[in-house]
Chains A and B, each alone.
Chain A
């Protein structure tokens, strides 16, 4: 084992050097089967290049890459892992891993995390930990926050809000100018989950939010009600676009591109869509979700995408080597750069792309998210709670008067789900 560790450290050093010098003696051979869900065009190119580069480093190894549609993978992963499992698969961090960890389909790779190189990944270790063991490695993450039309803010003489009062005042000014403050498309529910994550963690703090996710707090708790009361201030003002329950998140984009709405609470992946829609960097900017309760530290949504080794993997050595390769500083810098994934690298030694949104996001997550990192509503809450919950959140956004009924329903679900 020690010898193997040494060999792989050498391999890592090679990877870091990232040159064509592949004449090395360590013996990775056989097949490495990877199933990836990076099916969108840019991620797909990244994944294909990553597999090819890894194959070039290990000439005796035959890397078989299969790319599955990202949405389809969410339901296919079960079959893929249980019958004829591949060596490496993509998935998501935090509670989303639970079913596979509990069913023994993911391999415990705590030994990998004990290696010194993985110190550089320590910020994401918590999200990869279940039952005191680590079950995968992250390869990218991205910040959430408010993307807004800088030109509209300038026209109205507004600045980025830091507090909830400023936020409400800004929003009133935007509404007075005949626009909506926020666009959102809640047809597929999860966008409402983002709003809840932020308002709840800003009102009650990260710890409370995670307790709620773990089913330790009642949904009818007064602190939860306070979250909804804060949210309702915006809803009652008419801050959100009308009929948002009919739109997907993409269908809600034109409202902001056309200037009918001033801002969008979204993940950083939306920047590409804004730019495609014709917004320039002079029009588009980003700010951190404002503070609501000054007593709690800011927590941020930063969903992490991951690689895992299937417990039925045939070529464990190669699979572990691949995870080392993916998380190495050099590969991290490369795959997360602006012209590749355009997201944040998980390795602290990697270089951050000079894209302004990635820079701002990195700055925010490093210095201004001391409360904690949330993985997002549908990854922190167990699946059934997430689906019932997001449906309630959508209903609340359309009919805020139904709140008591919604909370009673969620509480009912909580008592049933967490046993």
Chain B
């Protein structure tokens, strides 16, 4: 037997011959398996459920695209949620310039600067739920600090910031910006460490200073940090669930809902368990996210190609 084996496989086994090609896949295999199990397959399950009427307990009934027709054909809750999502997306991006500004401010050698940096970073460390709670006290009508402060200027927001459907979403976004700014700041602080001092020196010899220095010399070198800040901020805006749940619970009269919160309400909350409709919302949210993620992947790909 041993003779036959040694004659048919000359000296190296099949695995040995393909080792270079196979090994990466072997290492990737557990990751791929779990990614498929917990991410890819559930995505398709969501698609499947969204075509059914299902209360999570009994039998599923096939309803075809009825959920999507209702969703896109004038469901007011959906429209409110969608526009709130758009508001979140754009206003949340303010965290990037704000983070950059603070990072530039803190990027100097002063006694105790580490302490200041960690203080500025603090809101990102504490839980979003705590931030939301603190801000909802801050916004309380009559007794809240914010209401007292606007009172100095003679402005009275009817119902308090979070009780007024015109201001509530902005109030929550402002609360969300606080930790998000800190996050962007830390990204820029690390980015600033990597700025090449020789280039700065050279620019200075050429007479660049102030905002010209910032715009033409520093910012281009911060591009990777900006990119990451952009990605985490967009994703953060689309995931804005905790703040809404803690601060307004979607109210007043549903004016602060976003898609993720609406999805939760329909499918998993106390009065929910309409899994099909919730899944349909999830699918729409998935495609919105996919649009952004595809754009980022594409621009990353383009940059890498350009670098070569």
Residues of A within 8 A of B (CB): 71, 74-75, 78, 82, 99-100, 102-103, 105, 187-189, 242-243, 245-246, 378, 383-384, 386-387, 391-392, 394-395, 398, 409, 416
Contacts and interface: CB of A to CB of B under 8 A. Distances in A.
A246 B76 contact: no
Given A103-B57, A409-B76, A75 B268 contact: yes
B274 A384 contact: yes
A189 B270 CA distance: 13
Contacts of A102: 58
B141 interface: yes
B299 interface: no
B55 A392 contact: no
A245 B57 contact: no
Nearest to B147: A243
A371 B71 CA distance: 40
Given A99-B57, A246-B159, A398-B253, 19 more contacts: A75-B268, A78-B56, A99-B55, A99-B273, A187-B249, A188-B249, A242-B159, A243-B142, A243-B160, A245-B252, A246-B160, A246-B162, A246-B163, A383-B272, A383-B273, A387-B265, A391-B253, A398-B252, A409-B76
A103 B58 contact: yes
B141 A243 contact: yes
Given A392-B253, A394-B252, A75 B163 contact: no
A75 B56 CA distance: 11
B159 A245 contact: yes
A245 B58 contact: no
Contacts of B158: 243
B191 interface: no
Interface string B140-170: 1110000000000000001110110000000
A105 B56 CA distance: 13
Report which residue of B159, B251, B274 has the largest number of chain A beta carbons within 10 angstroms of its beta carbon: B251
15 contacts: A75-B268, A78-B56, A82-B57, A99-B55, A100-B57, A105-B57, A188-B249, A243-B160, A246-B141, A246-B163, A246-B252, A387-B272, A394-B253, A395-B252, A398-B252
A391 B254 contact: yes
Shortest beta-carbon contacts, A-B, top 8: A387-B271, A246-B163, A395-B253, A103-B57, A243-B141, A383-B271, A245-B252, A245-B163
Contacts of B55: 99, 103
B271 A78 contact: no
B23 interface: no
B198 to A, nearest CB: 56
B269 interface: yes
Contacts of A99: 55, 57, 273
Contact of A245 (B56, B76, B251, B270): B251
Nearest to B253: A395
Given A103-B57, A243-B159, A75 B269 contact: yes
Given A103-B57, A245-B159, A74 B251 contact: no
A174 to B, nearest CB: 20
Contacts of B271: 378, 383-384, 386-387
B57 A78 contact: yes
A371 B281 CA distance: 42
Contacts of A245: 159, 163, 251-253
Interface in B229-287: 248-249, 251-254, 265, 268-274
Contacts of B269: 75, 387
B52 to A, nearest CB: 15
Nearest to B70: A416
Nearest to A389: B271
Interface string B11-39: 00000000000000000000000000000
A246 B140 contact: yes
Nearest to B252: A245
A82 B163 CA distance: 39
Contacts of B58: 102-103
A245 B166 CA distance: 14
A102 B58 CA distance: 8
A78 B253 CA distance: 27
B70 to A, nearest CB: 8
A387 B257 CA distance: 14
Contacts of A105: 57
Nearest to B74: A412
Contacts of B268: 75
Contacts of A416: 70
B71 to A, nearest CB: 13
Nearest to A71: B270
Nearest to B141: A243
Nearest to A188: B249
Contacts of A387: 265, 269, 271-272
